[in-house]
A and B are shown apart, each in its own frame.
Chain A
Amino acid sequence: MTTIRFYLPLFLSLVAWQAAVTAGLAPAEMVPAPLAVFEGLWRLLRGGELLRHVGVSMYRQLAGFMLAAVIGTALGIGMARLEGVRLVFEPLLKLLYPLPKSALIPLLILWFGIGHNSKIFAIFLGCLLPVVLSVYNGSRGIPRWLVWSAQSLGTRPYRLLWKVYFPATLPDLLSGLRIGLALSFTLLVSSEFLIARAGLGFLIQSVGEMGDYAAMFAAILVVALIGFAADRLFVRLMARALRWQEP
Protein backbone atom coordinates (compact mmCIF):
# COMPACT_ATOMS: atom_id res chain seq x y z
CA MET A 1 0.00 0.00 0.00
CA THR A 2 2.75 2.43 0.90
CA THR A 3 4.58 1.25 -2.20
CA ILE A 4 1.63 2.20 -4.38
CA ARG A 5 1.42 5.56 -2.71
CA PHE A 6 5.15 6.09 -3.15
CA TYR A 7 4.98 5.36 -6.87
CA LEU A 8 1.75 7.33 -7.36
CA PRO A 9 3.54 10.23 -9.16
CA LEU A 10 4.67 7.77 -11.83
CA PHE A 11 1.08 6.70 -12.51
CA LEU A 12 -0.04 10.30 -12.55
CA SER A 13 2.62 11.06 -15.15
CA LEU A 14 1.24 8.29 -17.31
CA VAL A 15 -2.20 9.86 -17.09
CA ALA A 16 -0.81 13.29 -17.96
CA TRP A 17 1.08 11.80 -20.88
CA GLN A 18 -2.05 10.11 -22.19
CA ALA A 19 -3.99 13.37 -21.84
CA ALA A 20 -1.30 15.34 -23.66
CA VAL A 21 -1.27 12.98 -26.63
CA THR A 22 -5.07 12.74 -26.76
CA ALA A 23 -5.30 16.53 -26.70
CA GLY A 24 -2.89 16.64 -29.61
CA LEU A 25 -0.13 18.40 -27.67
CA ALA A 26 2.40 15.75 -28.70
CA PRO A 27 2.58 13.92 -32.03
CA ALA A 28 1.20 10.41 -31.54
CA GLU A 29 3.57 9.25 -34.29
CA MET A 30 6.67 10.01 -32.24
CA VAL A 31 5.24 9.68 -28.76
CA PRO A 32 2.78 6.82 -28.58
CA ALA A 33 0.37 7.33 -25.71
CA PRO A 34 0.34 4.87 -22.79
CA LEU A 35 -2.85 3.19 -24.02
CA ALA A 36 -1.28 2.64 -27.43
CA VAL A 37 1.81 1.23 -25.74
CA PHE A 38 -0.30 -1.19 -23.71
CA GLU A 39 -2.06 -2.21 -26.87
CA GLY A 40 1.38 -2.81 -28.42
CA LEU A 41 2.37 -4.85 -25.38
CA TRP A 42 -0.73 -6.98 -25.77
CA ARG A 43 0.14 -7.60 -29.43
CA LEU A 44 3.64 -8.74 -28.52
CA LEU A 45 2.35 -10.94 -25.72
CA ARG A 46 -0.43 -12.58 -27.73
CA GLY A 47 1.87 -14.00 -30.36
CA GLY A 48 4.10 -15.51 -27.66
CA GLU A 49 6.92 -13.57 -29.25
CA LEU A 50 7.64 -11.43 -26.22
CA LEU A 51 7.99 -14.39 -23.88
CA ARG A 52 10.42 -16.10 -26.19
CA HIS A 53 12.67 -13.04 -26.30
CA VAL A 54 12.40 -12.53 -22.55
CA GLY A 55 13.46 -16.15 -22.10
CA VAL A 56 16.50 -15.74 -24.33
CA SER A 57 17.57 -12.51 -22.61
CA MET A 58 17.08 -13.85 -19.11
CA TYR A 59 19.12 -16.94 -19.91
CA ARG A 60 22.02 -14.77 -21.04
CA GLN A 61 21.73 -12.43 -18.11
CA LEU A 62 21.55 -15.18 -15.51
CA ALA A 63 24.39 -17.17 -17.03
CA GLY A 64 26.74 -14.19 -17.20
CA PHE A 65 25.77 -12.87 -13.80
CA MET A 66 26.03 -16.20 -11.97
CA LEU A 67 29.38 -16.91 -13.56
CA ALA A 68 30.66 -13.52 -12.41
CA ALA A 69 29.24 -14.02 -8.91
CA VAL A 70 30.90 -17.40 -8.36
CA ILE A 71 34.25 -16.69 -9.98
CA GLY A 72 34.37 -13.14 -8.64
CA THR A 73 33.78 -14.25 -5.05
CA ALA A 74 36.39 -16.97 -5.25
CA LEU A 75 38.90 -14.60 -6.83
CA GLY A 76 38.23 -11.81 -4.34
CA ILE A 77 38.65 -14.02 -1.29
CA GLY A 78 41.64 -15.72 -2.89
CA MET A 79 43.32 -12.37 -3.49
CA ALA A 80 42.76 -11.25 0.07
CA ARG A 81 44.03 -14.50 1.58
CA LEU A 82 46.80 -15.69 -0.73
CA GLU A 83 49.73 -13.49 -1.64
CA GLY A 84 50.39 -15.40 -4.87
CA VAL A 85 46.86 -14.94 -6.18
CA ARG A 86 47.00 -11.25 -5.34
CA LEU A 87 50.32 -10.76 -7.12
CA VAL A 88 48.96 -12.30 -10.28
CA PHE A 89 45.52 -10.74 -10.42
CA GLU A 90 45.89 -7.31 -8.89
CA PRO A 91 47.77 -5.84 -11.86
CA LEU A 92 45.38 -7.51 -14.30
CA LEU A 93 42.42 -5.96 -12.52
CA LYS A 94 44.13 -2.58 -12.42
CA LEU A 95 44.60 -2.85 -16.15
CA LEU A 96 40.98 -3.82 -16.73
CA TYR A 97 39.55 -1.31 -14.29
CA PRO A 98 39.56 1.91 -16.34
CA LEU A 99 38.38 0.10 -19.48
CA PRO A 100 34.73 0.83 -20.23
CA LYS A 101 33.38 -2.70 -20.41
CA SER A 102 31.19 -1.94 -23.41
CA ALA A 103 34.35 -1.44 -25.46
CA LEU A 104 34.88 -5.20 -25.27
CA ILE A 105 31.63 -6.01 -27.06
CA PRO A 106 33.05 -5.71 -30.60
CA LEU A 107 35.87 -8.05 -29.68
CA LEU A 108 33.51 -10.54 -28.10
CA ILE A 109 31.32 -10.44 -31.20
CA LEU A 110 34.40 -11.19 -33.26
CA TRP A 111 35.41 -14.07 -31.00
CA PHE A 112 32.12 -15.63 -30.05
CA GLY A 113 29.87 -14.66 -32.91
CA ILE A 114 26.26 -13.66 -32.95
CA GLY A 115 24.78 -16.18 -30.48
CA HIS A 116 24.51 -16.43 -26.71
CA ASN A 117 28.18 -16.59 -25.87
CA SER A 118 29.22 -13.10 -26.88
CA LYS A 119 26.50 -11.63 -24.61
CA ILE A 120 27.18 -13.98 -21.71
CA PHE A 121 30.86 -13.11 -21.85
CA ALA A 122 30.22 -9.38 -22.01
CA ILE A 123 28.01 -9.61 -18.93
CA PHE A 124 30.47 -11.88 -17.15
CA LEU A 125 33.42 -9.54 -17.73
CA GLY A 126 31.42 -6.45 -16.85
CA CYS A 127 30.10 -7.84 -13.56
CA LEU A 128 33.30 -9.57 -12.57
CA LEU A 129 35.18 -6.43 -11.62
CA PRO A 130 32.73 -4.88 -9.15
CA VAL A 131 32.28 -8.27 -7.50
CA VAL A 132 35.99 -9.03 -7.18
CA LEU A 133 36.85 -5.56 -5.94
CA SER A 134 34.18 -5.41 -3.28
CA VAL A 135 34.88 -8.94 -2.05
CA TYR A 136 38.60 -8.22 -2.00
CA ASN A 137 38.20 -5.00 -0.05
CA GLY A 138 35.65 -6.59 2.25
CA SER A 139 37.68 -9.63 3.14
CA ARG A 140 40.80 -7.60 3.76
CA GLY A 141 38.99 -5.60 6.42
CA ILE A 142 37.80 -8.49 8.56
CA PRO A 143 38.55 -7.74 12.23
CA ARG A 144 41.21 -10.16 13.35
CA TRP A 145 39.53 -10.91 16.66
CA LEU A 146 36.64 -12.53 14.83
CA VAL A 147 39.12 -14.94 13.31
CA TRP A 148 40.71 -15.38 16.75
CA SER A 149 37.35 -16.14 18.33
CA ALA A 150 36.62 -18.81 15.78
CA GLN A 151 40.06 -20.33 16.22
CA SER A 152 39.83 -20.47 19.97
CA LEU A 153 36.44 -22.15 19.63
CA GLY A 154 38.07 -24.93 17.66
CA THR A 155 37.51 -23.91 14.01
CA ARG A 156 39.93 -25.69 11.71
CA PRO A 157 41.87 -23.54 9.24
CA TYR A 158 40.05 -24.80 6.14
CA ARG A 159 36.68 -24.14 7.79
CA LEU A 160 37.56 -20.54 8.64
CA LEU A 161 36.82 -19.64 5.04
CA TRP A 162 33.23 -20.75 5.33
CA LYS A 163 32.59 -19.93 8.98
CA VAL A 164 34.18 -16.49 9.20
CA TYR A 165 35.54 -15.13 5.93
CA PHE A 166 32.40 -15.76 3.93
CA PRO A 167 29.83 -14.31 6.34
CA ALA A 168 32.07 -11.37 7.22
CA THR A 169 32.47 -10.54 3.54
CA LEU A 170 28.80 -11.04 2.69
CA PRO A 171 27.77 -7.36 3.03
CA ASP A 172 30.45 -6.28 0.57
CA LEU A 173 29.81 -9.21 -1.72
CA LEU A 174 26.14 -8.38 -1.94
CA SER A 175 26.66 -4.68 -2.60
CA GLY A 176 29.16 -5.58 -5.33
CA LEU A 177 26.65 -7.99 -6.81
CA ARG A 178 23.97 -5.31 -6.80
CA ILE A 179 26.19 -3.00 -8.84
CA GLY A 180 26.92 -5.92 -11.15
CA LEU A 181 23.23 -6.68 -11.51
CA ALA A 182 22.45 -3.22 -12.86
CA LEU A 183 25.47 -3.37 -15.14
CA SER A 184 24.47 -6.80 -16.44
CA PHE A 185 21.21 -5.50 -17.88
CA THR A 186 22.95 -2.56 -19.52
CA LEU A 187 25.49 -4.85 -21.15
CA LEU A 188 22.79 -7.34 -22.11
CA VAL A 189 20.70 -4.76 -23.94
CA SER A 190 23.76 -3.07 -25.46
CA SER A 191 25.12 -6.26 -26.92
CA GLU A 192 21.70 -7.36 -28.13
CA PHE A 193 21.24 -4.01 -29.86
CA LEU A 194 24.50 -4.49 -31.69
CA ILE A 195 24.13 -7.96 -33.03
CA ALA A 196 21.59 -10.63 -32.20
CA ARG A 197 18.87 -12.78 -33.67
CA ALA A 198 16.83 -12.94 -30.49
CA GLY A 199 16.49 -11.28 -27.14
CA LEU A 200 14.83 -8.11 -25.91
CA GLY A 201 17.39 -5.73 -27.42
CA PHE A 202 16.85 -7.42 -30.77
CA LEU A 203 13.07 -7.19 -30.35
CA ILE A 204 13.17 -3.47 -29.57
CA GLN A 205 15.22 -2.81 -32.64
CA SER A 206 13.31 -5.00 -35.03
CA VAL A 207 9.88 -3.59 -34.16
CA GLY A 208 11.39 -0.09 -34.28
CA GLU A 209 12.73 -0.71 -37.76
CA MET A 210 9.26 -1.80 -38.86
CA GLY A 211 7.94 1.53 -37.61
CA ASP A 212 5.79 -0.05 -34.92
CA TYR A 213 6.73 2.50 -32.30
CA ALA A 214 4.00 1.50 -29.89
CA ALA A 215 5.46 -2.01 -29.76
CA MET A 216 8.96 -0.56 -29.48
CA PHE A 217 7.96 1.50 -26.46
CA ALA A 218 6.26 -1.57 -25.02
CA ALA A 219 9.37 -3.71 -25.37
CA ILE A 220 11.47 -0.97 -23.77
CA LEU A 221 9.00 -0.83 -20.92
CA VAL A 222 9.37 -4.57 -20.43
CA VAL A 223 13.16 -4.26 -20.25
CA ALA A 224 12.84 -1.45 -17.72
CA LEU A 225 10.40 -3.40 -15.60
CA ILE A 226 12.59 -6.49 -15.60
CA GLY A 227 15.62 -4.45 -14.54
CA PHE A 228 13.61 -2.75 -11.84
CA ALA A 229 12.04 -5.95 -10.55
CA ALA A 230 15.40 -7.72 -10.47
CA ASP A 231 16.87 -4.94 -8.36
CA ARG A 232 13.92 -4.87 -5.95
CA LEU A 233 14.09 -8.63 -5.56
CA PHE A 234 17.80 -8.46 -4.94
CA VAL A 235 17.39 -5.75 -2.32
CA ARG A 236 14.81 -7.93 -0.56
CA LEU A 237 17.13 -10.92 -0.55
CA MET A 238 19.97 -8.74 0.60
CA ALA A 239 18.01 -7.37 3.54
CA ARG A 240 17.10 -10.91 4.47
CA ALA A 241 20.64 -12.23 4.25
CA LEU A 242 21.96 -9.28 6.25
CA ARG A 243 19.33 -9.22 8.98
CA TRP A 244 22.14 -9.48 11.48
CA GLN A 245 23.63 -6.14 10.47
CA GLU A 246 23.03 -2.93 12.29
CA PRO A 247 20.61 -0.93 10.19
Chain B
Amino acid sequence: MHATPVLRRALGLGVLKRWASVIALFALWEGVCRARLVDPFLLPALSEVLRRGAGELWSGELVAFTALTLYRTLAAFVLAGAIGIAIGVSMSLSAPLRWFGEPVVSFAFPIPKIALMPIFVLWFGVFDLSKIVMTTVAAVVTVISATHLGTRHIDKYLLWSAQSLGTHRRALFWKIVIPAALPAILTGLQIALPMCLIVSIVTEMITGGRGLGGYMIYASRFAESDKVFLGIFLTALIGYVLTEGLAMARRRLLAWHPEETVMV
Protein backbone atom coordinates (compact mmCIF):
# COMPACT_ATOMS: atom_id res chain seq x y z
CA MET B 1 0.00 0.00 0.00
CA HIS B 2 2.90 2.33 0.67
CA ALA B 3 4.14 2.41 -2.88
CA THR B 4 0.84 3.70 -4.18
CA PRO B 5 1.30 7.42 -3.47
CA VAL B 6 4.28 7.49 -5.82
CA LEU B 7 2.37 5.58 -8.43
CA ARG B 8 -0.64 7.77 -8.05
CA ARG B 9 1.36 10.92 -8.41
CA ALA B 10 3.03 9.55 -11.52
CA LEU B 11 -0.36 8.86 -13.07
CA GLY B 12 -1.77 12.18 -11.96
CA LEU B 13 -4.53 10.36 -10.13
CA GLY B 14 -4.47 12.85 -7.27
CA VAL B 15 -5.26 15.67 -9.66
CA LEU B 16 -7.96 13.60 -11.27
CA LYS B 17 -9.60 12.92 -7.94
CA ARG B 18 -9.38 16.52 -6.85
CA TRP B 19 -11.09 17.76 -10.00
CA ALA B 20 -13.40 14.78 -10.38
CA SER B 21 -16.60 16.72 -9.93
CA VAL B 22 -15.61 19.33 -12.53
CA ILE B 23 -14.71 16.62 -14.99
CA ALA B 24 -17.98 14.87 -14.24
CA LEU B 25 -19.88 18.11 -14.77
CA PHE B 26 -18.24 18.72 -18.14
CA ALA B 27 -18.86 15.12 -19.16
CA LEU B 28 -22.51 15.39 -18.13
CA TRP B 29 -22.83 18.61 -20.09
CA GLU B 30 -21.39 17.04 -23.24
CA GLY B 31 -23.46 13.88 -22.79
CA VAL B 32 -26.75 15.69 -22.28
CA CYS B 33 -26.14 17.74 -25.42
CA ARG B 34 -25.05 14.80 -27.52
CA ALA B 35 -28.17 12.91 -26.48
CA ARG B 36 -30.21 15.94 -27.57
CA LEU B 37 -31.91 16.22 -24.19
CA VAL B 38 -31.74 20.02 -24.28
CA ASP B 39 -32.30 22.65 -26.91
CA PRO B 40 -28.91 23.54 -28.44
CA PHE B 41 -30.05 27.16 -28.50
CA LEU B 42 -30.02 27.09 -24.71
CA LEU B 43 -27.05 24.84 -24.09
CA PRO B 44 -24.55 24.06 -26.82
CA ALA B 45 -22.30 21.05 -26.42
CA LEU B 46 -18.98 21.76 -24.75
CA SER B 47 -17.17 20.52 -27.85
CA GLU B 48 -19.26 22.91 -29.91
CA VAL B 49 -18.20 25.85 -27.73
CA LEU B 50 -14.55 24.89 -28.02
CA ARG B 51 -14.79 24.51 -31.79
CA ARG B 52 -16.47 27.89 -32.04
CA GLY B 53 -13.78 29.29 -29.80
CA ALA B 54 -10.98 28.04 -32.02
CA GLY B 55 -12.67 29.58 -35.06
CA GLU B 56 -13.36 32.92 -33.40
CA LEU B 57 -9.86 33.23 -32.03
CA TRP B 58 -8.54 32.62 -35.49
CA SER B 59 -10.60 35.49 -36.87
CA GLY B 60 -8.90 37.88 -34.45
CA GLU B 61 -12.01 39.86 -33.56
CA LEU B 62 -12.47 38.11 -30.24
CA VAL B 63 -8.84 38.68 -29.36
CA ALA B 64 -9.32 42.38 -29.98
CA PHE B 65 -12.45 42.38 -27.79
CA THR B 66 -10.65 40.59 -25.00
CA ALA B 67 -7.77 43.04 -25.18
CA LEU B 68 -10.21 45.94 -25.07
CA THR B 69 -11.95 44.63 -21.96
CA LEU B 70 -8.60 43.99 -20.36
CA TYR B 71 -7.46 47.51 -21.19
CA ARG B 72 -10.54 49.11 -19.66
CA THR B 73 -10.34 46.94 -16.57
CA LEU B 74 -6.67 47.65 -15.97
CA ALA B 75 -6.92 51.35 -16.76
CA ALA B 76 -9.70 51.70 -14.19
CA PHE B 77 -7.78 49.57 -11.71
CA VAL B 78 -4.65 51.68 -11.96
CA LEU B 79 -6.65 54.89 -11.66
CA ALA B 80 -8.67 53.57 -8.73
CA GLY B 81 -5.51 52.34 -7.02
CA ALA B 82 -3.58 55.59 -7.39
CA ILE B 83 -6.48 57.89 -6.53
CA GLY B 84 -7.74 55.63 -3.77
CA ILE B 85 -4.41 55.29 -1.98
CA ALA B 86 -3.77 59.03 -2.26
CA ILE B 87 -7.19 59.92 -0.86
CA GLY B 88 -7.08 57.22 1.81
CA VAL B 89 -3.70 58.35 3.12
CA SER B 90 -4.65 62.03 2.97
CA MET B 91 -7.74 61.28 5.00
CA SER B 92 -5.59 59.72 7.69
CA LEU B 93 -3.27 62.70 7.73
CA SER B 94 -5.72 65.57 7.68
CA ALA B 95 -8.64 66.06 10.03
CA PRO B 96 -10.71 68.26 7.68
CA LEU B 97 -10.37 65.73 4.88
CA ARG B 98 -11.42 63.03 7.31
CA TRP B 99 -14.42 65.10 8.36
CA PHE B 100 -15.54 65.31 4.76
CA GLY B 101 -14.32 61.95 3.49
CA GLU B 102 -15.54 59.55 6.15
CA PRO B 103 -19.28 60.15 5.67
CA VAL B 104 -18.87 60.12 1.88
CA VAL B 105 -17.07 56.78 1.97
CA SER B 106 -19.47 55.36 4.51
CA PHE B 107 -22.40 56.29 2.28
CA ALA B 108 -20.78 55.26 -0.99
CA PHE B 109 -19.45 51.94 0.28
CA PRO B 110 -22.62 49.84 0.36
CA ILE B 111 -24.56 51.44 -2.50
CA PRO B 112 -24.72 49.79 -5.94
CA LYS B 113 -22.48 52.22 -7.77
CA ILE B 114 -23.35 50.72 -11.13
CA ALA B 115 -26.62 52.64 -10.90
CA LEU B 116 -24.61 55.76 -11.75
CA MET B 117 -23.80 54.45 -15.22
CA PRO B 118 -26.57 56.37 -17.02
CA ILE B 119 -25.20 59.59 -15.52
CA PHE B 120 -21.71 58.90 -16.81
CA VAL B 121 -23.13 58.02 -20.21
CA LEU B 122 -24.97 61.33 -20.17
CA TRP B 123 -21.79 63.19 -19.29
CA PHE B 124 -19.11 61.30 -21.16
CA GLY B 125 -20.86 59.51 -24.01
CA VAL B 126 -21.02 55.80 -24.72
CA PHE B 127 -17.37 55.14 -25.51
CA ASP B 128 -14.30 54.33 -23.44
CA LEU B 129 -14.41 57.31 -21.13
CA SER B 130 -17.77 56.65 -19.49
CA LYS B 131 -16.88 52.99 -18.97
CA ILE B 132 -13.52 53.67 -17.42
CA VAL B 133 -14.88 56.43 -15.20
CA MET B 134 -17.74 54.21 -14.04
CA THR B 135 -15.40 51.33 -13.25
CA THR B 136 -12.95 53.61 -11.46
CA VAL B 137 -15.68 55.11 -9.31
CA ALA B 138 -16.99 51.66 -8.41
CA ALA B 139 -13.57 50.41 -7.33
CA VAL B 140 -12.06 53.51 -5.78
CA VAL B 141 -14.29 53.49 -2.71
CA THR B 142 -12.93 50.11 -1.65
CA VAL B 143 -9.33 51.27 -2.06
CA ILE B 144 -9.95 54.48 -0.12
CA SER B 145 -11.59 52.69 2.75
CA ALA B 146 -8.96 49.94 2.94
CA THR B 147 -6.11 52.44 2.81
CA HIS B 148 -7.71 54.68 5.37
CA LEU B 149 -8.35 51.74 7.67
CA GLY B 150 -4.76 50.59 7.32
CA THR B 151 -3.15 53.96 7.89
CA ARG B 152 -5.45 55.26 10.60
CA HIS B 153 -4.41 52.97 13.41
CA ILE B 154 -0.72 52.37 13.09
CA ASP B 155 0.70 50.66 16.13
CA LYS B 156 2.11 53.56 18.13
CA TYR B 157 4.95 51.45 19.47
CA LEU B 158 6.19 51.03 15.90
CA LEU B 159 6.30 54.80 15.48
CA TRP B 160 7.92 55.27 18.85
CA SER B 161 10.64 52.71 18.27
CA ALA B 162 11.39 54.16 14.82
CA GLN B 163 11.64 57.64 16.31
CA SER B 164 13.87 56.47 19.10
CA LEU B 165 16.06 54.81 16.46
CA GLY B 166 16.47 58.17 14.79
CA THR B 167 13.80 58.26 12.05
CA HIS B 168 12.79 61.82 11.35
CA ARG B 169 9.12 62.68 11.83
CA ARG B 170 8.65 63.34 8.13
CA ALA B 171 10.34 60.14 7.05
CA LEU B 172 8.03 58.14 9.29
CA PHE B 173 5.40 58.13 6.58
CA TRP B 174 7.39 56.26 3.96
CA LYS B 175 9.49 54.27 6.39
CA ILE B 176 6.76 53.09 8.74
CA VAL B 177 3.22 54.10 7.82
CA ILE B 178 3.17 52.75 4.28
CA PRO B 179 4.89 49.42 5.03
CA ALA B 180 2.68 48.90 8.05
CA ALA B 181 -0.45 49.65 6.02
CA LEU B 182 0.66 47.64 3.02
CA PRO B 183 -1.23 44.45 3.92
CA ALA B 184 -4.47 46.41 4.29
CA ILE B 185 -3.88 48.38 1.09
CA LEU B 186 -3.12 45.24 -0.87
CA THR B 187 -6.23 43.58 0.49
CA GLY B 188 -8.21 46.57 -0.77
CA LEU B 189 -6.60 46.28 -4.19
CA GLN B 190 -7.32 42.56 -4.25
CA ILE B 191 -11.00 43.28 -3.75
CA ALA B 192 -10.91 46.15 -6.23
CA LEU B 193 -9.42 44.20 -9.14
CA PRO B 194 -12.20 41.62 -9.62
CA MET B 195 -14.66 44.42 -9.00
CA CYS B 196 -13.13 46.34 -11.91
CA LEU B 197 -13.63 43.35 -14.17
CA ILE B 198 -17.23 42.82 -13.03
CA VAL B 199 -18.13 46.45 -13.57
CA SER B 200 -16.35 46.98 -16.87
CA ILE B 201 -18.07 43.91 -18.30
CA VAL B 202 -21.43 45.29 -17.21
CA THR B 203 -20.71 48.73 -18.65
CA GLU B 204 -19.86 47.07 -21.95
CA MET B 205 -23.10 45.16 -21.81
CA ILE B 206 -25.12 48.27 -21.06
CA THR B 207 -23.72 50.40 -23.85
CA GLY B 208 -23.30 47.49 -26.24
CA GLY B 209 -20.59 47.51 -28.87
CA ARG B 210 -17.10 46.16 -28.58
CA GLY B 211 -15.49 44.34 -25.68
CA LEU B 212 -16.36 40.97 -24.13
CA GLY B 213 -19.45 42.31 -22.37
CA GLY B 214 -20.92 43.64 -25.60
CA TYR B 215 -19.98 40.42 -27.38
CA MET B 216 -21.87 38.33 -24.84
CA ILE B 217 -24.97 40.48 -24.66
CA TYR B 218 -25.36 40.52 -28.44
CA ALA B 219 -24.84 36.80 -28.59
CA SER B 220 -27.51 36.40 -25.93
CA ARG B 221 -29.99 38.57 -27.86
CA PHE B 222 -29.47 36.45 -30.98
CA ALA B 223 -29.62 33.23 -28.95
CA GLU B 224 -26.09 32.25 -29.96
CA SER B 225 -25.44 30.33 -26.80
CA ASP B 226 -22.06 28.99 -27.89
CA LYS B 227 -20.77 32.56 -28.14
CA VAL B 228 -22.20 33.37 -24.72
CA PHE B 229 -20.31 30.46 -23.22
CA LEU B 230 -17.17 31.45 -25.03
CA GLY B 231 -17.44 34.91 -23.50
CA ILE B 232 -17.95 33.39 -20.04
CA PHE B 233 -14.87 31.20 -20.46
CA LEU B 234 -12.74 34.12 -21.56
CA THR B 235 -13.84 36.42 -18.75
CA ALA B 236 -13.24 33.65 -16.23
CA LEU B 237 -9.76 33.23 -17.72
CA ILE B 238 -9.02 36.94 -17.45
CA GLY B 239 -10.38 36.95 -13.92
CA TYR B 240 -8.16 34.05 -12.99
CA VAL B 241 -5.00 35.51 -14.49
CA LEU B 242 -5.57 38.93 -12.93
CA THR B 243 -6.36 37.73 -9.42
CA GLU B 244 -3.55 35.19 -9.43
CA GLY B 245 -1.11 37.82 -10.67
CA LEU B 246 -2.06 40.18 -7.89
CA ALA B 247 -1.89 37.42 -5.28
CA MET B 248 1.62 36.62 -6.50
CA ALA B 249 2.61 40.26 -6.24
CA ARG B 250 1.25 40.30 -2.72
CA ARG B 251 3.35 37.33 -1.68
CA ARG B 252 6.42 39.06 -3.11
CA LEU B 253 5.74 42.36 -1.43
CA LEU B 254 4.77 40.89 1.89
CA ALA B 255 7.37 38.18 2.26
CA TRP B 256 8.20 39.72 5.65
CA HIS B 257 4.66 39.51 6.92
CA PRO B 258 4.00 36.58 9.28
CA GLU B 259 0.42 36.19 8.08
CA GLU B 260 1.46 35.53 4.53
CA THR B 261 3.31 32.31 5.08
CA VAL B 262 0.30 30.84 6.83
CA MET B 263 -2.26 32.02 4.34
CA VAL B 264 -0.98 30.11 1.33
The answer to whether A and B belong to the same complex is yes
Q: Which residues of B contact A190 (CB under 8 A)?
A: 114, 202, 205-206
User: In the assembled complex, how far is the CB of residue A157 from the closest CB belonging to chain B, in whole angstroms?
Assistant: 27
A91 & B103 in contact (Cβ 8 Å cutoff): no
Chain B contact patch, size range: 35 or more
Among B107, B225, B235, point to the contact of A228 (Cβ < 8 A).
Answer: B107
CB pair A204 B118 closer than 8 Å: yes
Is there an interface contact between A110 and B42, defined as CB atoms closer than 8 Å? yes
Asked if B115 contacts A103 (CB within 8 A), the reply is: no
- Which range contains the number of A residues in contact with the other chain? 35 or more
Indicate which residue in B106, B112, B202, B244 contacts A224 across the interface (CB closer than 8 Å).
Answer: B112
Is A216 part of the binding interface, using a Cβ–Cβ cutoff of 8 Å? yes
Identify the stretch in A7-15, A38-46, A238-246 within 8 Å (CB) of chain B at 4 or more residues: A7-15
Decide if the interface of chain B is mainly helix, strand, loop or mixed: helix
Contact string against A for B residues 194-210, beta-carbon threshold 8 Å, 1 for contact and 0 otherwise? 10011101100110000
Partner of A100, one of B21, B22, B217, B235: B235
Instruction: For B47, list chain A residues within 8 Å (CB).
Output: none
Which A residues lie within 8 Å of B110 (CB)? 181-182, 227-228, 230-232
- In the bound assembly, the distance between CA atoms of A68 and B231 in angstroms comes to 25
Residues of A near B99 (CB, < 8 A) are 9
In Å, the complex CA distance between A101 and B198 comes to: 7
B236 touches A98 (CB 8 A): yes
Query: Is chain A's binding surface mostly helix, strand, loop or mixed?
Result: helix
Q: Is the CB of A189 within 8 A of B42?
A: no
Q: Is the CB of A107 within 8 A of B19?
A: no
A75 to chain B, nearest CB (A): 13
Contact status B239-A100, CB under 8 Å: yes
Whether A110 lies near B112 (C-beta < 8 A) is no
Contact B20 A87 (CB under 8 A): yes
Given A100-B197, A100-B198, A110-B228, A223–B235 Cβ distance below 8 Å? no
Q: Does A175 contact B (CB under 8 A)?
A: no
Interface string of B79-118 (1 = CB under 8 A from A): 0000000000000000000011011101101111111111
Residues of A within 8 A of B113 (CB): 186
Task: Give A residues with C-beta under 8 Å from B.
Answer: 6-10, 30, 87-89, 91-92, 95, 98-107, 109-111, 181-182, 185-186, 188-190, 193-194, 200-201, 204-205, 208, 213, 216-217, 220, 223-225, 227-228, 230-232
Given A104-B232, A228-B107; 17 other pairs, CB 8 A cutoff? A9-B104, A10-B103, A91-B18, A91-B19, A99-B235, A99-B239, A100-B239, A101-B198, A102-B205, A106-B220, A110-B42, A188-B112, A190-B114, A190-B206, A217-B119, A224-B115, A231-B109
Query: Which 9 A/B pairs are nearest by Cβ-Cβ distance?
Result: A231-B110, A106-B220, A98-B239, A185-B112, A98-B240, A227-B111, A99-B236, A224-B111, A103-B235
